[in-house]
């Protein structure tokens, strides 16, 4: 079965705190892709990062960092020194190899992050 | 650069009325296109996808339909809206770079059925 689990429904932090959003996936494919999206209050989903299953190197982009661990089937997202503008719903998604030409993505249910000033 | 447009941005329609939501993509050709619905509970539900003109696949049986009359145009329709059709509708296209499997989303249409 292909599945993405974001167990944290809502997280509330105070500005400047670090916060980690968890993502656990299930797939039998050896080749797959993982993604994170941000959905601010305006509604549009913004693509943040893609990671393929062969690249376990962690990635850092400014205050954002991603920790991909195949051994635990996790692709966690950390925001360092959070800011109010980080308040949004964050989605993790999986594209298994069998997605083929349709390229369907499997989304988690999202984590609502609220950063308080 | 590629851009994706959706309109209208918001819509309030009575039960039983027809619906037409439009999505267009610029700056790419033969994209995979997708319609999602996001209900108040926040989860994203894939409704339809299209890999080419006139090719529509439905993920969830319902009173909605989709069409792709042109390469970069994707339309979501209904003949008679239900209350349960209320939600936030998002159109997306697949990135066209090699091995670029992420989807890029439009600004969405917020539909309220009264």
User: Is the preceding peptide bond at B8 cis, omega within 30 degrees of 0?
Assistant: yes
pLDDT of residue A5: 97
Residue in chain A closest to B51 (alpha carbons) equals A102
Among the partner residues B34, B57, B101, nearest to A50 by beta-carbon distance: B101
For A16: left if phi > 0, alpha if psi spans -120 to 50, otherwise beta; the answer is: left
Alpha carbon of A37: minimum distance to chain B alpha carbons (Å): 10
> Which residues of B2-114 form beta strands (DSSP E)?
3-7, 10-13, 19-26, 33-38, 44-52, 55-58, 64-70, 73-78, 87-94, 103-105, 109-113
Do B101 and A99 count as a contact with CB atoms less than 8 A apart? yes
Alpha carbon of A90: minimum distance to chain B alpha carbons (Å): 10
Do B44 and A91 count as a contact with CB atoms less than 8 A apart? yes
Tens-place pLDDT, residues A48-94: 999 989 888 888 889 999 999 999 999 999 999 999 999 999 999 99
Nearest to B70 by CA among B101, B112, B37, B26: B26
pLDDT of residue B99: 61
Among the partner residues B43, B44, B101, nearest to A103 by beta-carbon distance: B101
Tens-place pLDDT, residues A5-57: 999 999 999 999 999 999 999 999 888 999 999 999 999 999 999 998 988 88
Residue in chain A closest to B39 (alpha carbons) equals A109
pLDDT of residue B62: 80
Q: For residue B90, what are its two tokens?
A: 């998002």
Average pLDDT by consecutive 10-residue portion of chain B (114 residues)? 92 97 92 91 88 90 90 96 95 76 93 96
């Amino acid at each position: 079965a292909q599945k993405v689990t974001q167990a944290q429904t809502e997280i509330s932090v105070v500005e400047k705190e670090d916060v980690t959003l968890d993502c656990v996936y299930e797939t039998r494919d050896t080749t797959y892709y993982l993604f994170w999206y941000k959905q601010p209050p305006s509604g549009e989903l913004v693509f943040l990062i893609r990671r393929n299953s062969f690249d376990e190197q962690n990635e850092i982009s400014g205050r954002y960092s991603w920790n991909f661990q195949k051994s635990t089937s996790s692709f966690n997202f950390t925001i360092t020194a959070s800011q109010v503008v980080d308040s949004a719903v964050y989605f993790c998604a999986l594209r298994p190899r069998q997605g083929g030409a349709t390229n369907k993505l499997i989304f988690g249910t999202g984590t609502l992050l609220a950063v308080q000033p | 650069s590629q851009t994706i447009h959706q309109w209208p941005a918001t819509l309030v329609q009575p039960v039983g009325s027809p619906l037409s939501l439009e999505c267009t993509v610029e700056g790419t050709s033969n994209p995979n296109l997708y319609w999602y619905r996001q209900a108040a509970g926040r989860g994203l539900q894939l409704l339809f996808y299209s890999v080419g003109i006139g090719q529509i696949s439905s993920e969830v049986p319902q009173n909605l339909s989709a069409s792709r009359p042109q390469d970069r145009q994707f339309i979501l329709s209904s003949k008679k809206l239900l209350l349960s059709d209320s939600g936030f509708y998002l159109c997306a296209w697949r990135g066209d770079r090699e091995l670029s499997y992420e989807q890029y989303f439009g600004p969405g249409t917020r539909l309220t059925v009264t």
